[in-house]
Amino acid sequence: MSVDILFLHAGGFNPEGLQGPFFPIGVIGLASFLQQNGYKPLIVNLFLEKILNPELDYKEAVKSYAPSVIGIDLHWFVHCYESVELARLCKEVCPSAKIVVGGLTASQFDTEIMEQFPFIDAVIRGDAEQPLLQYLQYALDTGSDAHHHLENIPNLTYCIGAGTVTRSSKSYRISRDELDQLDFLRFDLLQNWQKTFNLFNADYIPANESQRSNDLNEYYNPELPVKAWILYTGRGCQYKCTFCGGSATAFNRAFERTLILRSPEKIADDILRYNETTPVDIIYMPHSPLITESRFHHKILDSVASKLKERGLKKLTLGFIFEDCPFQVDLEILGRYLQLFDRRKSIFRLYLADVEKKTSDFNHFPVDFKQTQFLLNYLSGRAHVLVGILIGLPGQTRSSTLKMADFARDTRKKGAVVMIYNAELHPGSELIQFPEKYHIKLEVKRFMDYYHYLEQKRDKSMLYGYKANNDITIQEQRQILEKAITPELLN
Ligand code: B12
C-alpha cells in the first residue's frame, strides 16, 4: 500500500533501554488534518508492530509504503536515540523520501538535530498542522524552487544541501477554531488500531506499583482487562514547575505560547464517543481540574450531562485518570466527575515534591500541602489513588525528606499506592536552562547527551540527569522513603 505520508513511532533499537510505547496523540489529529486536505496518511507504531511480529524487518516494512514523507515523532526525551535511529534506517531504504521529525523534544533541540544528522531533512517546531501540510505540498511538488518554498513554511528548521541550518522566520500557532476541527478519534488512520488499546504503560494501569522489566511484551497484553486511552483536551500548561519539559516556560520556547484548550463542547463530544464507540474503559485526561480552572470543567460536564440526558442516561461507563500536581483542590468539580464517570474505574495520580512550602516555592509548585492532605482524605475510599513523590529536586533537605516519609506512611495507610520518582531532567525545563539559578550540576544538557545516554542504557530506570546541592543525596532520599512505604512496616 503506498501512502503520501507515513507517521512512524520508533521502538526496539535499544530494546533493553527506556521505552515509550505510545506515539503522541496529536499525531492522530495531524493525520486527520492532512486527510481532510486530500492527502493519504498512515500511522504505524513500530514498537507495537515489533511486539505483534518479532520477525518484522523494519526495512521491508517501511519500503512497502513507498511514502513521499516520513514523519517521526520525537516528543518525549526517551525517544532521542530510538527516533534518530529510525530516521537513519528510513533514509537508507527510502532515499527519496523526506524525513521530518517533530514534538516537544525535537522542538527544543531543532538546530542541534539538524547539525548532527544529515539524514533528517527537517524539524517542525511546535504546532505542526499548517507547517506539515505545507511541507507535504513542497515534497510532492518536485518542480518547484525548493529553497524558496522552505523559507515560507512556518516553524521549520531545515538545511539546504550540506549548508548551514536555517530556521524559517515565519511562525504558526494553532487557533482554537483550528484545534476544534481536528479529529483525535480517527483510529482508522492507524495500522492495527484495535491492538493499540492492548498496549499499556505499567506505570498507569493497573493502579499498582510498576514493574519495569526488559521484556518489550511487558508493554502489551492481548487480554488487557482495562483499556486506557487519551482524551485530547489541548496543548501546553500555564504553570512553571522547574523540572518539567511541558511547563509554560518549556512550551514558550518550543511553541511560542503557553496553553491552548479545545472547546468544552468538543471535549464532551469526544467523551461520549469514547464511551459509546470504542473499547476504552478509562480515559486519561490531561488538563484535569487539579490544574485547570473549574469553570472550564463545569462546562465540559454540563455538556456531557445534557448529552447523556438526550440518551436517557445518567452516567458514563468510562472511568478517568487525572495525573497532575494538585494545584487546585475544588471538591465540587471533583465530586461531579466522580458522579458522572464510573468512580470504581477512576484513578487519581498525584505528584508531590515536598512537604515544605519553601521548597515548593523554589521549584515553582503552587501547591498547598494542607489542601493536598484534605484532598487525600476526601479521595480515600472514593477512587484509586496513586501518589508519586518526586525526589532529587533542588532545595529538598534531609529534614523535609523525613517529614515526607511520615506523610508517605500515612498516605499508604489510607489505601493509596505510593511511588518514588527521580525528578527527571527534561529538555526545555527551567532546570536545564538555568542550572546556576538552582545550584545544580547538569549531567546531560545537549541533544547528543540524551542520545548517547539512551543508546547505552541497559535498564528501564528513570533518568535523573543532574546533581543538586542538597544536604542529602537522591539515593539517601530514596532509601528513607522506600523504607517508609515497605508493606511490612505498615502494621
Ligand atoms: C498526556 C501526556 C501523556 C500521556 C500520553 C499522551 C499521548 N499519547 O500523547 C501518557 C500518560 C501516556 C504519557 C506518558 C509519558 N509521558 Co507524558 N505527558 C502528557 C502531558 C500531560 C500532555 C501532553 C500534551 O499536552 N500533548 C499535546 C501536544 C503538546 O502534543 P501533541 O498534540 O500530541 O503533538 C503536537 C506536537 O508535539 C507535534 N508532534 C508530535 N508528534 C509529531 C510528529 C511529527 C512527525 C511532527 C511533524 C510533529 C509532531 O505536533 C503535534 C500537533 O501539532 C504532558 C504535559 C504537558 N504539559 O505537555 C506530559 C509530558 C509530555 N510527558 C512527559 C513524559 C516524560 C512522559 C513519559 C516518558 C513518562 C515516563 N517517564 O514514563 C511517558 C512516555 C509515554 C510513551 N511515549 O509511551 C514529559 C515530557 C518531557 C520530555 N520532553 O520528554 C511531559 C512534558 C510531562 C512531565 N513533566 O513528565 N504522557
Nearest to 47 by CA among 159, 195, 225: 195
What 8-state DSSP symbol labels residue 355?
Answer: S
61 within ligand 1 shell (Cβ under 6 A): no
Contact 137, 130 (CB under 8 A): no
Q: Please give the grid coordinates belonging to residue 460.
A: 528501564
Which residues, including other chains, have CB under 8 Å from residue 69's CB and lie 6 or more apart? 4, 5, 6, 97, 98, 99, 100, 135, 136, 139
Distance 75 CA to ligand 1 centre (A): 6
- Express each pLDDT in 3-36 by its tens digit: 999 999 999 999 888 889 999 999 999 999 999 9
pTM: 0.96
CA of 365 to the centre of ligand 1 (A): 20
pLDDT at res. 489: 46
pLDDT at residue 208 in the model: 46
Predicted pLDDT of residue 203: 61
Element (H, E) at 98: strand 98-102
Whole-number Å distance, alpha carbon 236 to ligand 1 midpoint, is 10
Contact 165, 157 (CB under 8 A): yes
Cα 448 from chain centroid (whole Å)? 21
**CB of 124 shorter than 6 A to ligand 1:** yes
Which ranges of the chain have pLDDT less than 70? 142-148, 201-215, 487-491
**Sole residue written with cell 477554531:** 177
In the block, cell 482554537 appears at 176
pLDDT at position 141 is: 83
Q: Distance from the CA of 102 to the center of ligand 1, in angstroms? A: 11
Q: What is the pLDDT of residue 19?
A: 85
> Of 76, 83, 421, which is best to mutate to test ligand 1, by the most ligand atoms within 8 angstroms of its C-beta?
76
Strands 259-261 vs 466-468: parallel, antiparallel or unpaired:
unpaired
CB 121 within 8 A of CB 98: yes
